């Protein structure tokens, strides 16, 4: 059970790659989940990652800790392309020793766990307690075989422009701003006040800033506890969808898809005032709008909890050098190194032992008005409820997001959007 993001990228390019999970079933191999592929060379391994998340920096950091190790890093492409490449390799090609998999991609691989090393055979049983329960459980099979170690989670907040809020007559202090929107209805109402006062869009879009976050805050999402699809009958999904339609109808969005060229340019120009932002998103804002330093702040997200992002490191069963890969995983995903990841890149740790450390709880971000981002993002993760993530979570989410985009950007009829989303979800998963 897991509360997880609905998109297929953990950091920089989340929406552009949203939930386009590889469409082919994984091929079973003759390897069992307990296999290790041989001991191999303990000082070299092949590592496949997706792009845009700074994996080169992690490898460089590891080289300082283990200079004798040769890491052959390949950034395959998007998270979807990386998962598809791994699927192809598992069917009979040359597999990497280590691969980074987006959280929404992982359930498909869990279905054929025999393609991967049971990490318990390498010592992971002694480390499981280091990670959030709802995160580590995502990488387990029904018979408790662990195939992946989590790298990060995407605790949530709302990033907003204090100068724009002031111009609209809204409060700018993050505590007072958070009080504006205890609910998503209140968030939309705040947007209406802002747009009425300024004549400008309040938020970037309705699908990722409203729907994606609201639908992740319930105890059940697209699947029930037994793993059966309920996306078309779960009231929480419909309510979240209707909230996004309400935001679109209120004309408070800039109608810009996250991580599109237009969205990036709009950040730089200051074309909207607020957006839902996971911890890793702050780096994208810095990059797109470097001249806006000190004009941003971060407030609590409506509903108080959320997660957008997360990935896992897996070792294929036919890996040539599984022990070298495991040495990297246990070192770089230790609580100590995950804390360093946060301090250098904003990746929120999956290791709760860090959540009371002053380096994290006391961390403030000068770009964002010295917001206590470590504290804000950590609290949003701790407030999550676990829900079942199924093998087609990505495809289902994409259907809903695309239907909302059709209304917001293309003028598709709002009263038909729900039926369109459900129809396309059923088609995508072959239901």
Which pLDDT score, from 0 to 100, does residue 1 have? Answer: 43
pLDDT digits (tens, 9 = 90+) for 122-137: 999 999 999 999 899 8
From-to residues of CATH 3.40.190.10 in the chain:
44-153+309-366, 155-307+386-429
The H or E element containing residue 71 is: strand 70-77
> Within 13 Å, how many C-alpha atoms sit on residue 139's CB side?
29
CB 17: neighbour CB atoms within 10 A?
Answer: 24
pLDDT digits (tens, 9 = 90+) for 309-352: 889 999 999 999 999 999 999 999 999 999 998 998 888 999 99
* CATH topology assigned to domain 155-307+386-429: D-Maltodextrin-Binding Protein; domain 2 (3.40.190)
* CATH topology assigned to domain 44-153+309-366: D-Maltodextrin-Binding Protein; domain 2 (3.40.190)
Residue 61: closest CA among 424, 328, 416, 262: 328
Evaluate if residue 11 carries a pLDDT over 70. no
- Average pLDDT of the residues in 83-108: 94
Q: Say how far residue 67 (Cα) sits from the centre of its chain.
A: 31
Confidence of residue 39 (pLDDT cuts 50, 70, 90): low
- Residue with the bigger pLDDT between 53 and 184: it is 184
Which pLDDT score, from 0 to 100, does residue 34 have? Answer: 40
pTM of full prediction above 0.75:
yes
| Residue 67 to residue 43: CA distance in whole angstroms | 9
> Could you tell me where the beta strands, DSSP code E, fall in 175-304?
274-278, 296-299
pLDDT digits (tens, 9 = 90+) for 209-253: 999 999 999 889 999 988 899 999 999 999 999 999 999 999 999
């Amino acid at each position: 059970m897991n509360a997880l993001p609905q998109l297929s990228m953990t950091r920089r390019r989340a929406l552009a790659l949203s939930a386009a999970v590889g469409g082919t079933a994984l091929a079973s191999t003759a390897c069992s989940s307990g296999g290790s592929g041989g001991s191999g060379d303990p000082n070299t391994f092949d590592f496949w990652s997706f792009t845009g998340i700074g994996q080169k920096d992690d490898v460089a950091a590891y080289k300082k800790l283990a200079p004798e190790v040769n890491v052959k890093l390949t950034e395959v492409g998007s998270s979807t392309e990386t998962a598809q490449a791994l699927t192809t390799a598992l069917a009979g090609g040359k597999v990497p020793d280590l691969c980074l998999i987006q959280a929404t991609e992982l359930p498909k691989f869990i279905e054929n766990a025999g393609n991967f090393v049971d990490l318990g055979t390498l010592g992971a049983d002694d480390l499981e307690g280091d990670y959030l329960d709802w995160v580590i459980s995502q990488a387990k099979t029904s018979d408790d075989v662990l195939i992946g170690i989590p790298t990060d989670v995407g605790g949530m907040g709302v990033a907003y422009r204090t100068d724009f809020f002031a111009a609209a007559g809204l409060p700018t202090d993050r505590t007072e701003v958070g009080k504006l929107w205890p609910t998503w209805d209140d968030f939309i109402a705040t947007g209406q006040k802002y747009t009425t006062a300024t004549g400008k869009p309040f938020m970037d879009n309705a699908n990722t800033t409203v729907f994606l976050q609201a639908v992740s805050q319930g105890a059940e999402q697209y699947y029930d506890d037994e793993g059966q699809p309920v996306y078309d009958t779960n009231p929480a999904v419909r309510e979240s969808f209707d909230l996004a339609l309400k935001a679109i109808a209120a004309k408070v969005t800039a109608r810009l898809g996250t991580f599109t060229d237009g969205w990036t340019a709009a950040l730089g120009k200051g074309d909207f005032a607020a957006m839902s932002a996971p911890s890793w998103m702050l780096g994208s804002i810095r990059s797109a709008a470097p001249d806006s330093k000190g004009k941003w702040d971060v407030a609590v997200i409506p509903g108080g909890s959320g997660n957008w992002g997360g990935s896992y490191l897996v070792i294929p069963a036919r890996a040539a050098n599984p022990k070298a890969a495991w040495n990297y995983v246990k070192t770089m995903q230790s609580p100590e190194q995950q804390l360093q990841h946060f301090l250098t890149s904003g990746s929120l740790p999956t290791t709760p032992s860090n959540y009371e450390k002053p380096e994290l709880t006391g961390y403030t971000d000068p770009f964002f008005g010295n917001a206590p981002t470590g504290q804000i993002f950590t609290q949003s993760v701790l407030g999550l409820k676990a829900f079942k993530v199924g093998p087609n979570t990505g495809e289902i989410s994409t259907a809903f997001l695309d239907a909302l985009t059709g209304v917001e950007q293309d003028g598709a009829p709002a009263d038909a959007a729900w039926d369109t989303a459900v129809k396309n979800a059923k088609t995508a998963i072959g239901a």
